[in-house]
Amino acid sequence: MNTTRTLAAVALATTAALTLGACATTEAPASGVDAATATSIADFGTFADLEAAAKAEGALNVIALPRDWANYGEILDLFIERYPEITVTEASPDASSAEEIQAAENLAGQDTAPDVFDLGLAVALQSTDYFAPYFVERWDDIPAELKNEDGLFWADYGGYMAIGYDPDAVPAPTSLDDLLGEEYRGKVAINGDPTQAGAAFAAVGMATVQNGGTLDDFGAGIDFFEELNAVGNFVKIDPTPATVASGETPVVFDWDYLNNGYAADLDGQRNWEVVVLPGTGYAGYYNQAINIDAPNPAAARLWMEFLYSPEVQNLWLKGGARPALEASMVANGEIDEALYAALPEAPADTVVPTAAQSEAAAALLGERWATAVQ
């Protein structure tokens, strides 16, 4: 990406309902290595040894991976095609980050427990006791500000918080203040609950920096949504391609790649435009982690190596998201140039919350959000 699009560069510049199943009976890999304690490919021996161990387990449980989210459908299908010996179970695709952790807690010791997580930063920071340390082969190519130094979680793909809207239902928003107008009555949605979901958390973050606040205090963003709710413009429906198509959520705060995905899913049935508001932009990444109690620990680690291959990092790019290995892939000539060039321009002034800012914001949202939008 160019300098106005590169989230990794921005991060470097900032300081930055499930049921119980049978008990798991995970077999040790053929090499004799305990996959549950492996922290890298080297612990298995070779990548082929890791593949063999994962095939011996024969299963992988993923959770909260909507197929229309950042090209996850194509990514999942490629893994399934490449490893037909491994049965992939896709649980609760619309679950929030917090619900992923709850599932791991509820299903601990069961063969239906999630092997891996895909999480917003705030939830990841609060949940490290659930994670097994692991360092993917391309670990050194992940910017330092995008990974936990102990290997407990690490960023994978990211984007900018944007506003998607139906131009036939509302005028084009040019600022947060526009959304408080009569034309937006009962029409503005965010993707989930910000105390649980990363996209909704980021919507409040974006509103914060667009409403005169800073990432040190999400109060200004909460204030905006409190006012949006008070004037009757905030609609408490989680947006999906179906709600966008039906007109239930004609204005949506969401990641740029998801809002662009809504447009693609509509396939011309309804108009859909996406705007990143002028001024300060809010960027963020989702994070991968391995369940410390994964029923299929070798398959979990193989999945992570798969995600951090240049091939799959380019599939995030195909989905409109920015891959964590972007800078390295550009330097090594591994980036898909056509997809890379197609990314929209991002604000020159962009903020990415640090771990400390995310933790403080999560605490404040826990205190204020429910009453602000009740």
Other Cβ atoms less than 10 A from the Cβ of 48: the count is 10
Tokens of 175: 């600022």
**How far is it between the farthest Cα atoms of the chain?**
66
Other Cβ atoms less than 10 A from the Cβ of 237: the count is 12
Rounded to the nearest angstrom, the gap between the alpha carbon of residue 319 and the centroid of all alpha carbons in its chain is 12
Give the list of residues 6+ apart from residue 286 with CB closer than 8 angstroms, or none: 118, 119, 120, 155, 156, 157, 158, 198
What pTM was computed for the model? 0.85
Tokens of 66: 């909507």
Within the chain, where are the H helices?
7-13, 47-57, 72-82, 97-106, 121-126, 198-210, 219-230, 241-246, 256-266, 297-307, 310-318, 326-331, 337-341, 355-372
Write down all domains in the chain, each with its CATH number in brackets. 7-158+284-346 (3.40.190.10), 160-282+351-372 (3.40.190.10)
pLDDT, tens digit, 9 for 90 and up, residues 274-325: 999 999 999 999 999 999 999 999 999 999 999 999 999 999 999 999 999 9
Dist CA 259 CA 167 (whole Å): 14
Dist CA 307 CA 328 (whole Å): 15
Please report the pLDDT score of residue 9 as a whole number: 44
Please report the pLDDT score of residue 7 as a whole number: 52
Please report the pLDDT score of residue 197 as a whole number: 93
Dist CA 265 CA 278 (whole Å): 26
Q: Which residues of the chain have pLDDT under 50?
A: 1-6, 8-30
